[in-house]
């Protein structure tokens, strides 16, 4: 059984048909990368899984731990042990770095109709581990998040997701706009959380960086999956890389 199974999903923004029969699996314990050019449908796929609307999923089925979550409300996903760090990466600007990190605990303690029987097989990182991995956040822990640079706010949003007990972490372009050195920090943190047992679905336009840490990759183009395989296989598949990733 895969942790996430997406079967024949078709998603729409109003009349625009974006995802076309997308089928994917995310296996327990892996780092699965979803790659593709700008506008390919990566964010739409993540939002479809996370219950973020729009888009509207009109056909197909999404299961998590064998439970049908196709129509889940996005407020409920954290109760199931899913963390989604969206492209916007909202942090609370009027709270300190430390307070933002502690908010992770609030989300997981909510209860809802989905019950808690499936959630939290894996603990998140402790605040000490977070500060070890992200020394910049440690230096700024008492500072209001709104005063951080864009890159630091991005780190904080990712760190908050890592702190939450999470069985599935979904990251939308975590490397975007970050300096190479900070990308490396984020990569190390992703690998660390995976060592703790958390499964990672990594959406990236930076295919070269994502292939480096991924076990398996999907490539999406114009709303359809055009490649599925081991990361090494994609590394060696120059035709697919040229055609769909431009790298
Ligand atoms: N809110 C929206 N309304 C209408 N069309 C959208 C919306 N968001 C994205 N799209 C369209 O859906 C397609 C896929 O977008 P997206 O999933 O954001 O791509 P990616 O994340 O791979 O860059 C694009 O053609 C984009 O223009
Ligand atoms: Mg996107």
Residue 216 CB less than 6 A away from ligand 1: no
Predicted confidence at residue 233, as pLDDT, reads: 98
Question: What residues have a C-beta under 5 A from ligand 2, the ion?
Answer: 42-43
Predicted confidence at residue 215, as pLDDT, reads: 98
Given 3.20.20.10, 3.40.50.300, 3.40.1280.10, 3.40.50.720, which CATH number is that of 4-245?
Answer: 3.40.50.300
> Which pLDDT tens digit goes with each residue over 65-83?
999 999 999 988 988 889 9
Query: Would you mind telling me the total number of residues written for the chain in this entry?
Result: 247
Burial class (CB in 10 A: 0-12, 13-18, 19+), 66: exposed
Ligand 1 centroid–CA 53 distance in Å is 12
Q: Which ligand is nearest to the CA of 34?
A: 1
Predicted confidence at residue 79, as pLDDT, reads: 83
Residues of the chain with pLDDT under 70: 107-113, 115-120
Specify the ligand 1 atom closest to the Cα of 41. 17
Residue nearest to atom 20 of ligand 1 (CA): 39
Q: Look up the pTM and report it.
A: 0.95
Predicted confidence at residue 34, as pLDDT, reads: 98
Q: Which ligand is nearest to the CA of 38?
A: 1
Residue nearest to atom 6 of ligand 1 (CA): 13
Domain boundaries along the sequence of the chain: 4-245
Counting Cα atoms < 13 Å in the Cβ hemisphere of 164 gives 30
> Which pLDDT tens digit goes with each residue over 217-227?
999 999 999 99
Residue nearest to atom 2 of ligand 1 (CA): 13
Ligand 2 centroid–CA 94 distance in Å is 27
Measured distance CA(214)–CA(211) in Å, rounded: 5
Burial class (CB in 10 A: 0-12, 13-18, 19+), 140: buried
């Amino acid at each position: 059984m895969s942790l996430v199974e997406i079967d024949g999903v078709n998603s729409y923004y109003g009349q625009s048909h974006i995802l076309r029969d997308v089928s994917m699996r995310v296996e327990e314990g892996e780092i699965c990368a979803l790659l593709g050019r700008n506008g390919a449908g990566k964010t739409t796929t993540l939002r479809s899984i996370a219950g973020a609307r729009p888009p509207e999923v009109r056909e197909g089925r999404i299961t998590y731990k064998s439970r049908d979550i196709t129509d889940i409300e996005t407020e409920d996903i954290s109760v199931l042990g899913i963390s989604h760090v969206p492209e916007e990466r909202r942090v609370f600007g009027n709270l300190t770095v430390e307070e933002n990190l502690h908010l992770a605990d609030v989300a997981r303690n909510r209860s809802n109709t989905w019950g808690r029987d499936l959630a939290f097989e894996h603990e998140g990182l402790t605040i000490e581990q977070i500060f070890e991995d992200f020394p910049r956040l440690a230096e700024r822990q008492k500072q209001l998040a709104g005063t951080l640079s864009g890159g630091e706010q991005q780190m904080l949003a990712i760190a908050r997701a890592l702190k939450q007990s999470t069985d599935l972490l979904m990251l939308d372009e975590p490397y975007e706009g970050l300096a190479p050195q900070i990308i490396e920090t984020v990569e190390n943190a992703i690998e660390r959380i995976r060592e703790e047992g958390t499964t990672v679905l990594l959406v990236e336009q930076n295919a070269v960086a994502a292939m480096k840490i991924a076990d398996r990759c999907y490539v999406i183009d114009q709303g359809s999956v055009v490649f599925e395989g081991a990361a090494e296989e994609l590394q060696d598949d120059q035709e697919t890389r040229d055609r769909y990733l431009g790298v």
